[in-house]
Each structure stands twice: as structure tokens, then as C-alpha cells.
Amino acid sequence: MFAAPGGYDRAITVFSPDGRLFQVEYASETVKRGATVLGIVCKEGAVLAAEERATSKLQDPSFMWKIFQIDEHVGAAVAGLSCDAHILVDQARIYAQSNKLMYDEPIDVELLTKRIGEIKQLYTQHAGVRPFGLSILFGGVDSKGSRLFWTDPSGAFLAYKAWAIGAGGDAANEVLEAEYSDEMTLDDATVLALKCMGKVMEGKADAQKTRIAVIPADTKKFKKLTIEEVEKYLKKLEPNKRAAAK
């Protein structure tokens, strides 16, 4: 719960006496209530995972709205307002294509994140607008290797080896901090992502409710895993669970 802001939350451009922008904090609270998404990078590539919350049993289970392809070598996972995400995802795609046309090379993941962060920052500074109610994880493979960046509603961004955001972000990050290794393979990272999702989903990841995308370092090609492929990785996770139980 927030303390009484005393009217300092009525405009995005007004600081509170203790130096806070309440509208940005409210936007961050939206992220904390969103579906869990995470990213993991290793020498062999990058993995993005998302919890897809179906609103009806009639909903198409193959539809993805938390993980997006930005370019061949980079993807994005979003937590918060999906409608806000569409605007920034479109801008990210434009930046990626413009960079390729202008410099004849794929855009660096860090530069892409920085440009999206600059758009977010503008929406914390001007009257008549509100901050974007989402955080984004950009994962991909560029000239510097496998990269993962996180950007929040304020426009700030940081680099991670593995990170989770959303409602189950804290629980997932506990698993990541305990089990992440610099030497893991892309398959290991995918299994670890599903293990984190299992922790968030009260003990068992569901292939119907979990979306995975990978960007292998050798091909640098973004690929969304099918439900059948996710189920194969879940089977790899089962022996680990039985071993832990013993």
C-alpha cells in the first residue's frame, strides 16, 4: 500500500517533497501484478519464458502475447499492460530495421534497449501523458555474445545473466540465483526457465500455460518453441525432481 501522496500523484511532472514520482511507482506496481516473464543467457544463446494467463478455455492456446520477436537475433518478453507493449514492440522493430538499413548490420541488444528506455523516460517528463505500465526483458545474440537487458517504467535499464519480473518474479529469481551457472548449455537454460515457471505455478509448469523462445548463438535466429517441444523439456525436468526428492 502507498502512503497518502498529498496530491503529488496528480501529474507525472511533479516530484513529491521526498523526491518521488508517484505515477512511475504506480506503473511499477502494474508490472508486479502482471504475468511472470524471465530471461536467461548463456554461451550457447538466450532463452525467454513467459506465463500465459488464459482468460477462457476457448482461447487459442498457441497464441502468444508476452513474448515478441523484434528481429532475427533478438526477442522481448513483457510484464504489465500488454496494450502498452504493442507500441514499444513496434518501435523496437522499427529501430532494428532502421539500424540494419543504415549500417548493414544487426542492432546491438544494448542499443535497442537504450532507445526503448529513452521513449519510456520521455513519458515520465511531459504533462498530459502517463508512464508505460510495463517492464521489458530484451534477450538476444549480437556481436558481443548472448545478452539480456531489463528496462522498467522509468526508462532505466540494466544488464543481467538471468532475471525474472512480474507477479512471480521474486520466487523465480530465488531459483535463478541458486541454480544459474555460466557454464550451462542452452538446453540447461531452457530447463531452468521451466523450473522457475514451475515454482511460480505452484509446483508444476504447464506446457499449455508456458511460452518459451530461444535464440541460439550459432544461428542467431529467434525461435518460438511449440507446445510439443516445451513438453519434451518438461520431461527432462522430471528426473531432476525425483533426484531432488531422494
Query: pTM here?
Result: 0.91
pLDDT at 173 over 80: yes
How many CA within 13 A on the CB side of residue 14? Answer: 10
> Would you say residue 89 has pLDDT above 50?
yes
Domains of the chain: 29-52+59-245 (3.60.20.10)
Is the pLDDT at 245 greater than 50? The verdict is: no
Say yes or no to pLDDT of 209 above 50.
Answer: yes
- Residues 142-161: what's their mean pLDDT? 97
pLDDT of res. 126: 86
Task: Tell me what the mean pLDDT of segment 88-117 comes to.
Answer: 97
Residue 241: per-residue pLDDT = 56
Question: Is the pLDDT at 246 greater than 90, yes or no?
Answer: no
Question: Rounded to the nearest 10 degrees, what angle do helices 227-245 and 186-200 cross at?
Answer: 80
What pLDDT, on a 0 to 100 scale, did the predictor assign at position 31? 96
